[in-house]
Structure 1
Amino acid sequence: MNLAKHLNTFGQYLLQRHGERVHKLALNASFTCPNRDGSIGRGGCTFCNNASFNPQGRQPPTVTQQIAAGRAVLAKRTGAKKFLAYFQAYTNTYAALEVLKPLYDLALAEPDVIGLSIGTRPDCVPDAVLDLLASYRDQGHEVWLELGLQSSFDRTLRRVNRGHGFAEYVDAVQRAHARHLPVCTHLIVGLPGECLSHSRITLARVLELGVEGLKLHPLHVVRGTQLANEWRRGEYQPLALEDYVDSAVNLIRTTPPDVIFHRVTATASTEILLAPAWCNKKWLVLNKIAEQLGT
């Protein structure tokens, strides 16, 4: 089924805005995270595994090489001729401006790259970085700030070792909006100790801030994480497919139609996925969500 018939998808937004299909090129620029390097903590979030971004554990190719490789795959698969450089792995604003700007500039120098999508944490977006991103947008580039919030409940954020609270997220969104930067907020459904009511409250708090985009993710258990240890001990039970679909549909239906959904599920490779097994079946999940939205 066509999900775009039932909600405002990022792909449709880009098509309408740019007159042709635009695809994201996911990039790993070898950043780390303050929750890993000791600045605020060690070990990272309880659900995060290095291999999910870099399965071979090797130094990733250069940004230019990654763009070339991604372009070749997507052009063959979809025929796309325009792309967004998606700095995805870890915290992509967690460096000095002298480091960030050349990387962003390198991506934007590619003639078919029309903009940037920057994945980061709410506590790692200083004003200087926001000013830089706003300058790209002022030049006509498509620019999105993607903030990983996951939950608005500080108790949950402590439970999964996020290293920041909801207040940092509010501050980051307000400063981004002051510069007319659109924000896409990442939310995880099925976090330890949470149910649908928690997700609904988190969504309401996020929407109150006027964010332009959302990503919904089911929490899945991958190898090499603290969450995996908790799952093995029976301390965490992942959502069943039907429960995630019900939750996602509920959240989508309570979201204003002008808010853009960049994603409504997430997957992990079979090499690292422990549970639930359905999290490696992207189209099964999307089709079930579309089907339920259509009823």
Structure 2
Amino acid sequence: MALSEVVHTFGSDLLRRYGARVHKLAIHAGFTCPNRDGTKGVGGCSFCNNASFSPHSQREPGIAEQIAAGRAVVRKRTGAVKFLAYFQAYTNTYADAKRLGALYREALAEPDVIGLAVGTRPDAVPAPALDLLARLRDQGYEVWLELGLQSAFDATLARVNRGHDFGDYCRALDQARQRGLPVCTHLIVGLPGEGREAALASLERVLERGTSGLKFHPLHVVRHTRLADHWRRGGYHPLTMDAYIEIAADLIERTPSDVVFHRVTGTASRDILLAPDWCSKKWAVLNGIEQALRRRGTRQGARVGDPLTGACDAA
């Protein structure tokens, strides 16, 4: 049994299209964020310690060195023979096009790197950056723009000091789609003030606008963040693993089968994770989501009457 049998996963999609295992290699390219450098704000999002997302966020070796280190680990673990350079840490379109082009092309110069996944904020994707990514895609590279929306509710975005709103996301999405760039939208489940219904509503708003890919992960509390202070004071209570698994299954059921899931959970390393403890247990969560879908007798797209998965009466 595998999650890819009930969910349209990015790994299985790449395997089908390239005939080989393809894996993302996380890269820290030395970017900052407009919500940290004073352009939009300082201090960043209340939950953000970038070490929870990128293994290289505390150091900045060269891109080729990072790819070599990641390749050695991933190839041994997964058997991947092709890779996407995943510009992950902070805001990876937050520079002039000349610098962006040099960084992206340095990664693409590696012979087994077939494309890019570029993580960024919806309010930091200028036209020159999008034009550059579109040119690279036209040259035959696999290119994804990953937009960190996190919630479709402006009140929530303000609560976590996100520094952008849903309108920024819609504009960035439209501009990317006009250039033929596929977009992967990031959503966080369990943000302060949000539960299952808010997660479902955010998904609905994102699907109404149109997206090629999705990433979900639970909110985890990590060291050196304002969220950590809030949690210590008893002001934030993370989701249980069972609650997250059920919400993730709900979201997957309501996502059409042509949307690719790049991720359905997320983890943080034990040295910075404060809560919940289960956020260090990736495979337990993935297996739990798969088991929840099988227990329900359902799969991705079932609750939108998706013809590729079989119709299912919505609850």
TM-score (ref. length: structure 1): 0.98
Q: Which amino acid aligns with 2:257?
A: P
* Distance in 2 (alpha carbons) for counterparts of 1:80 and 1:283: 19
Shift of 1:274: 0.4
Q: Which amino acid aligns with 2:9?
A: T
What is the match of residue 205 of structure 2? 205
- Secondary structure, counterpart of 1:122 in structure 2: coil
* Distance in 1 (alpha carbons) for counterparts of 2:66 and 2:21: 20
Matched, 1:246 2:235: no
CA contact (8 A) 2:26 2:55 kept: no
Query: Which has the higher mean CA deviation after the structures are superposed, 229-238 or 66-75?
Result: 66-75
What is the match of residue 62 of structure 1? 62
* Distance in 1 (alpha carbons) for counterparts of 2:254 and 2:17: 25
What is the match of residue 161 of structure 2? 161
Shift of 1:195: 1.3
Task: Describe the superposition over 1:225-250 as per-residue Cα deviations: whole angstroms up to 9, x where unpaired.
Answer: 00000000111000001110010000
What is the match of residue 283 of structure 1? 283
CA contact (8 A) 2:265 2:285 kept: yes
CA contact (8 A) 1:28 1:53 kept: no
What is the match of residue 47 of structure 1? 47
What is the match of residue 19 of structure 2? 19
Shift of 1:54: 6.2
- Secondary structure, counterpart of 1:74 in structure 2: helix
Shift of 1:285: 0.3
What is the match of residue 3 of structure 2? 3
Where structure 2 has 5 or more consecutive residues not aligned to the other structure, the ranges are 296-315
Q: Which amino acid aligns with 1:267?
A: T
What is the match of residue 116 of structure 1? 116
Shift of 1:128: 0.7
Shift of 1:56: 8.1
- Secondary structure, counterpart of 1:294 in structure 2: helix
Shift of 1:52: 2.6
What is the match of residue 30 of structure 1? 30
What is the match of residue 188 of structure 1? 188
CA contact (8 A) 1:75 1:81 kept: yes
Shift of 1:208: 1.0
What pairs up with 1:81-160 in 2 under 5 angstroms? 81-160=81-160
* Distance in 2 (alpha carbons) for counterparts of 1:195 and 1:56: 31
Task: Describe the superposition over 1:89-141 as per-residue Cα deviations: whole angstroms up to 9, x where unpaired.
Answer: 01000111121110000001111000000000000101111000000110110
* Distance in 2 (alpha carbons) for counterparts of 1:56 and 1:118: 16
TM-score (ref. length: structure 2): 0.92
CA contact (8 A) 2:28 2:57 kept: no
What is the match of residue 236 of structure 1? 236
What is the match of residue 79 of structure 2? 79
Q: Which amino acid aligns with 2:162?
A: R
What is the match of residue 255 of structure 1? 255
Distance 1:71 1:223, change over 3 A: same
Shift of 1:79: 2.0
* Distance in 2 (alpha carbons) for counterparts of 1:56 and 1:168: 28
Matched, 1:266 2:266: yes
CA contact (8 A) 1:52 1:272 kept: yes
- Secondary structure, counterpart of 1:124 in structure 2: coil
Where structure 1 has 5 or more consecutive residues not aligned to the other structure, the ranges are none
- Secondary structure, counterpart of 2:123 in structure 1: helix
* Distance in 1 (alpha carbons) for counterparts of 2:193 and 2:79: 43
* Distance in 2 (alpha carbons) for counterparts of 1:51 and 1:260: 26
* Distance in 2 (alpha carbons) for counterparts of 1:86 and 1:193: 31
**Paired residue total:** 295
- Secondary structure, counterpart of 1:249 in structure 2: helix
* Distance in 1 (alpha carbons) for counterparts of 2:131 and 2:284: 40
Shift of 1:60: 1.6
Q: Which amino acid aligns with 2:111?
A: P
Task: Describe the superposition over 1:132-177 as per-residue Cα deviations: whole angstroms up to 9, x where unpaired.
Answer: 0000110110000000000000000000000000000000000000
Shift of 1:58: 4.5
Distance 1:176 1:276, change over 3 A: same
- Secondary structure, counterpart of 1:258 in structure 2: coil
Shift of 1:81: 1.2
